[in-house]
Every structure is written in structure tokens, then in C-alpha cells.
Chains A and B, each alone.
Chain A
Amino acid sequence: MDLAFAVFLQVATGVATLLIISLGLAVIFGMMRVINLAHGEFLMLGAYSAIISVRAGLNIWLAMLVVAPIVVGAIGAAVERVLIRGLYGRVLDTMLATWGLSLALIGIVTMIFGDSVSGFSAPLGSIAIGGYRSSSYGLFLIGAAIVLLCGTWAVLRLTPAGLIARGTMQNAEMAAALGVSPGRVYAATFTAGAAISGLAGALIAPFSGVVPTMGTLYIARAFITVLTGGAAMLAGTLSASALLGSVSTLGTYFTTPVLGEVIMLVVAVLLLRLLPQGITGRFFRRAL
């Protein structure tokens, strides 16, 4: 029984991790149809901002929860202004541009910090579940995923800014006719997506270790999650994370880390074969 609960907690942590790393991508892709291949590097920059702040003596929570999203959000704003703005609606061109950006960011960070692994320890210590012990940081990650998801939902659903953003995404010309500047809405959305990615990078840093190439470990999983999720941004990411995160964690638990990853990918491929529009193409169609 204890074991079942401990494993359940592990699964929940896996799901939360997947949700956290995919949400920033889902916002940018789901709202703006921009395929951001530099998403993994936004995670990496978030992790680096956190680790540098921690080393500079900043409180670890401040570094992860405040510094990382602000820094990466600012970088995202600059990237949108310089690179993305001219390419809206040109899917292939944005892919190429963001891919180039991804390589450039890896190169720049490698030049500055070197291609070596650093990291900081997870705060919070551990908890006991019957005879089993688990890291409390896992619980914190689960909480963080819930807060992030609810926060994004609330902003989009309950605030005037969210209404304007959703309206612009649905019909930019109509929004413009009503006095909204689509350019500014796009910029703000991209910045928000980047900030969420930065936060995600900082949150996973204590578990994963920080390297310039860490983004490449996560980008494939993030993309698969967002694609499997389908059109509805939040419901899709949530349902896909829940499914793929559980499959991957349980697969790893019962077999090996390699097979766990393979099983997850097989499930994703099967799912996309059966539901080409993603999970939310069939279920929860009216969800956000």
C-alpha cells in the first residue's frame, strides 16, 4: 500500500514535470501557431539564470521563481521583436529561424559557461510515506504545476487581457478593427510563453543538472506532449501530460529507463494515428 502510494507520487511528479516543461511551448504554439524550436534553450536559460543567481548568493526560491522567468521573459521579448515579428504566419520560416536561434543560444552559453554539467541541490528535504521516502521537492513540483496551470487558465479566462488575447488569436483583423493592436498582443503572449519556459527550466534544474545542451533532452518530450494534446491549449497539455507522464514513469519503473522512453513514444505515435487532431481534437473540444 505504501509502495503503491509512493509510486503514485512518483507518477504525479513525472506528470507535473512534463506539464511544466510543455506549458510555455503550448502557450506560444497554441495561441500563435509559432513552432518555437528554441523552447528547449529557453528552459536551459531559465536553469542558468537560477544557478547563477544562487551562486551569487540569492535566495534559492527568489532565484527560481522570480529571477528565471523575468530574465527569460526579457530574452523572449527581445527575440520576438528581432526575429519572430517579421515571420508571423510563415510556419516553415519561423521553424528555421527558431532552430537557428536554438543552435546560437547553445553556442553562446557554451562559450560563456563551458560545456560542463553544474547544478544545485533540491531544497526542502524529504518526506516519509509509510516505509518509503521521497523528495519533498517532487511534491513542490506537483504544486507548482497546478498553480501554473490554474494561473494560466485564470489569466486567459477571467481577465480583460486574457479576453483580448483570446480574441486576437481567433480573429486578428476583427480585434484590430475594434482597436486592439495585434502586434502588441503577440509580443506579450510570446513574452509570457518564454517566461513560463524560463520558470520551468529553473524548476527542473535541481533534478536534471544544468548543461548548455539540456534543452535537447526536453524539447522532443515537450513537442510530443503539445502535439498529442491537440488544439485546446490547457486541456490538451494537461491530458497529454497526464497520459504520457504516467506511461513514461510506470514504464521506467517496471522496465528500464530506455524502455520507459520507448514505451512513451510508442503510445504517442499510436495516439496520433488514432486521433490525428490530438486528444482535444476528439475530447474536451470546447475546453480552453
Chain B
Amino acid sequence: MTVRRRTALTGLGATLAAPFIMRHAALGADPIVVVGIHDASGGLDIYGKPMIACLDFAVDECNEAGGLLGRPIKLINYDPQSNIQLYTQFATEAATRDRAAVVHGGITSASREAIRPILDRYRTLYFYNTQYEGGVCDRNCFCTGSTPAQNVNKVVPYVLKNWGKKIYVLAADYNYGQITSKWVVKYARDGGGDVVAVDFFPLNVTDFGPAIQKIQAAKPDVIMSALVGGAHISFYRQWAAAGMKNRIPMASTTFGVGDESLVLSPEEGNGIVAAFSYFQEVDTPANKAFLEKFHAKMGPNAPYLGGELAMRTYVGFNLWAEGVRKAKTIERMQVIEALESGITNDGPPGKTVIDGQTNHCSLNVYLAVCQDHGFKVLQSFADQPPSDTQSVCNLIKYPNTNKQFVIDVKL
């Protein structure tokens, strides 16, 4: 028998393609692919590393319990290195090459807005598990973190009541900081206070000297920080170094979501107040049990979970898993419908319920003060609805909405 080039090529092609064809034939036994996109390096790694640890933990836990629908979960973690371009690249890979059943990821709002349209286009379910500025209205995207109505609306009344009416806002210069500072203005005015100034800082700014002099000239009663990332930690250092720490009290919408409280010394961090839907220090039996298991598994490498980002990633995965169990399939629309029916997770932070009108969550919120590298919970608020997003977004009535609503407040 003579081997012609054409037959040889056909044979070779078939051999190469066989694993792919066979994989599709045997889909039933295949693992369900879940993709995580979180920054494990770069300026945002202080948030990303604990989130990845919690997602790993959640997937392992699910696999140990037998997986989902009788299939194991295969988790693929991508590290976009705090670089938006890599976010879009990995989101495309997750949707096209990995054919992920769901993508969990995005830390900054900028990264979310970079990958949300991509995952919409490729019809890949998306979970954004971070506290953010609210307003995203998109059936394909579930936002499981807290929003200004849930967190800013707790911090601002607290500072107005305890510290004074004049607030000075420092915020990161991108959509999160800009929109969040508007919410601070709104809630301050609602509570009878006012915002004397809002200063924005690009994420790579490290010299806050001029800003600190400016704040002193404005003589506010309260500093509200919506600063983000590793470079902005210098602000807390320079603020303490200038001796301002004990003169003007500070609250924040971001401090403690990463490991800020660990990186700073107690002299620099103590006394800063923040509100999130979880703190590692939340004292409930469910949280205690979770932490024991988490630490037993991770050993000395277990990261400090700080504020809500890492825990929301854990809860977000479990909400999705619950949705899949209810839908009995990983088919996207059926899972979305199951999730929107009001899936509930009773996890370490308390009860989280998906709100079908907005694809956001009702959740418990905790107000806490930074103390010796950790937080002390001062107050807790049960079952807080995402009322900010609810006031503008109705996916039941208008299921084809796909935009982020932004609050309109004059600064």
C-alpha cells in the first residue's frame, strides 16, 4: 500500500482531532469548568490573593461533597496582573477556549466593565463578587457584594452622628471612586451634613503631601476614604506621619476589604471605621466553623480575609452552585432563571438572598472599627436590600436591560 500525502494528512488530522471529538462524545463525565479571574500580582494583589484562596477553598469543598450534578468542578484561575488588557484576554479565553460554565472575577469596577460586555457577547454567565458602586443592570451578571445603599449608607450616618457634619472625601480616580463619592455626598446631605471637597487620585499616586495640607486648610470633621490598591496605602502612612491621625477621624468605603489593616501598623490603622457585608471577626457559629475549616485546610498560608471581597467570592460560588443544583443543568439561561428565583445561601456572613429584580443580593452588613491589625464589629444590620440598584433597575419588567445606572448628584 502506498501512502499518499492526502491520506497521510487526513489520518494525522483525525488522530489530532480525536481527543476533542471524543471529549464531546463523553461530555457527561466531563468536569464542569469554572474560571476565576483575579489579580494575584500587581497593585491589586492585596485584594486578589485572598479571593483566589477562597474560590479554591469553595471549589475543593464542593468537589469533596461529590461535585455538582454528579460531575466534578474544574477550576481554572487566571492572573490578569492588575492589567485591564489581560482581563479582556482571559475573559475571551474563558468563554471561547475553556467554555466555562461561569466566570467569577473582576476586582475593580474598571475590570468588571472590561469583561462584562465580553461575557455578555459570548453568553457566559458572570459573577462579580466585590463590593462596588452599584447600578449594574444586566441579567447575565450577578453582583454578590454590597453596594452604597448597604455600606456607605451605614458609614455616613455613623460619622455624622458621632464625629461631625463636614466630610472631606478622598477617592480613587476611576468609576468606583467617582460614583462612590457621589453616594457619599448624597447620604451626607440626606443626613444633614455636607461634603466640603472631593479629591481624586490615580491608582499610582503615592505622594499625598499636598493633599494632606489641603485637608488641613479645609478643616473637615471627618475624612472619608475611597482609596484603592497598594499605592494608596501610602496615604494612611503619610496621614499618620503628619500627626493628623488623632486630630481628624477617618472612615472608609474601602479600608479593610484587602489586607490594609495588616500592612499598616496599629498606630496608622486603629480607629478607621468601615462597613462591609463581612469581616473575618464576625462572631457567628457559621463563621467560626468556616474559619476553623479554612485554617485547617490552608494551614499557615491562610490569608487574612479582612472585609468582604474574599468571603463574597466564597458565597458567590456557593450561590452559583445552588442555582445549578436547582436548575439541574449548567445551561446558562436555566441557571439564571434558577438564581433569579431567590436562591439563598446561609454562609459565614449570614443570610444572602439573590434579588431577582436586580441580580444583586440582600445581605447582612456590619459596621466595624480597625483595631490592632484587625477589626472590631460595632453594629450589625440584617437583611439589607440593594435599594440603590433596585430604584433604577428592574430586570423582571425589562429583562433586556444591559447597562450601569449612575446616580446623578452635583458635587
**A-side interface residues toward B, CB under 8 Å?**
3, 6-7, 10, 13-14, 17, 110, 114-119, 121-122, 124-128, 131-138, 206-209, 211, 217, 249, 252-253, 256-258, 260
The B167-205 residues at the A interface (CB cut-off 8 A) are 173, 199-202, 204-205
Query: Do A252 and B210 touch (CB < 8 A)?
Result: yes
Minimum Cβ distance to chain B for residue A63 (Å): 17
Given A115-B41, A119-B237, A132-B216, also A249-B210 (CB < 8 A) = yes
Contact of B233 among A110, A117, A133, A252 (CB under 8 A): A117
CB distance from B98 to the nearest CB of A (A): 25
Contact A116/B41 with A3-B217, A217-B206 known, Cβ cut-off 8 Å: yes
| Chain A positions within 8 Å of B238 at CB level | 122, 135, 207
Report the minimal beta-carbon distance from A183 to chain B, rounded to whole angstroms. Answer: 39
Q: Please determine whether B213 and A132 come into contact, CB atoms closer than 8 angstroms.
A: yes
- B242-250, B278-286, B362-370 - interface stretch: B242-250
- In the complex the two chains form, is A115's CB within 8 Å of B45's CB? yes
Q: Can you add 12 more A-B contacts, CB < 8 Å, to A6-B216, A126-B243, A133-B242?
A: A115-B42, A116-B42, A119-B234, A122-B238, A133-B243, A135-B238, A207-B209, A209-B206, A217-B206, A252-B211, A253-B214, A256-B200
In the complex, A10→B200 CA distance in Å? Answer: 19
The residues of B that contact A17 with a CB separation of less than 8 Å are: 207
Query: Does B217 contact A115, Cβ atoms closer than 8 Å?
Result: no
Q: Which are the 9 A-B pairs with shortest beta-carbon distances?
A: A126-B243, A117-B230, A135-B241, A115-B41, A253-B210, A133-B243, A208-B206, A252-B210, A122-B241
A252 to B205, CA, bound (A): 11
A28, B390: Cα distance in complex, Å: 61
Residues in chain B near residue A116, CB distance under 8 A: 41-42, 45-46, 230
Report B's interface with A, CB cutoff 8 A: 41-43, 45-46, 81, 173, 199-202, 204-207, 209-214, 216-217, 230-231, 233-234, 237-238, 240-244, 247, 263, 265, 267-268
How many Å lie between the Cα of A202 and that of B23 in the bound state?
Answer: 56
Nearest-neighbor residue (CB-CB) of A9 within chain B? B213
Name B205's contact: one of A13, A138, A257 (CB within 8 Å): A257
Q: Which residue of A134, A207, A258 contacts B202 across the interface (Cβ within 8 Å)?
A: A258
B45 and A134 within 8 A (CB): no
Contact pick for A137, options B206, B211, B241, CB 8 Å = B241
A133 to B247, CA, bound (A): 10
Report B-chain residues with C-beta under 8 Å of the C-beta of A256: 199-200
A206 contacts which chain B residues (CB < 8 A)? 237, 241
A107→B277 CA distance, assembly (Å): 38
B310 CB, nearest partner CB in chain A, Å? 16
Best-buried of B42, B43, B81, B206 by chain A (most CB within 10 Å):
B206
Which residues on the B side are within 8 Å of A131 (C-beta)?
216
Q: Which of A6, A211, A260 contacts B213 (CB 8 A)?
A: A6
Cross-chain contact B206 with A260 (CB below 8 angstroms): no
Whose C-beta in chain A lies nearest to the C-beta of B199? A256
Instruction: Collect the chain B residues with CB atoms within 8 Å of residue A115's CB.
Output: 41-42, 45, 81
**Which residues of B lie under 8 Å from residue A249 when comparing CB positions?**
209-210
Q: Which among B81, B206, B211, B265 is the interface contact of A121 at CB below 8 angstroms?
A: B265
Residues of A contacting B231 with CB < 8 Å?
A: 117, 209, 211
In the complex the two chains form, is B209's CB within 8 Å of A10's CB? yes
A217→B206 CA distance, assembly (Å):
10
In the assembled complex, which residues on chain B have CB atoms less than 8 Å from the CB atom of A10? 209-210, 213
Most A Cβ at <10 Å: residue of B205, B211, B242, B244: B242
Can you list 7 contacts pairing A with B, beta carbon distance less than 8 Å? A117-B231, A122-B237, A135-B241, A137-B241, A207-B234, A257-B201, A258-B173
Across the interface, which residues of A come within 8 angstroms of B210, CB to CB?
A: 10, 14, 249, 252-253, 257, 260
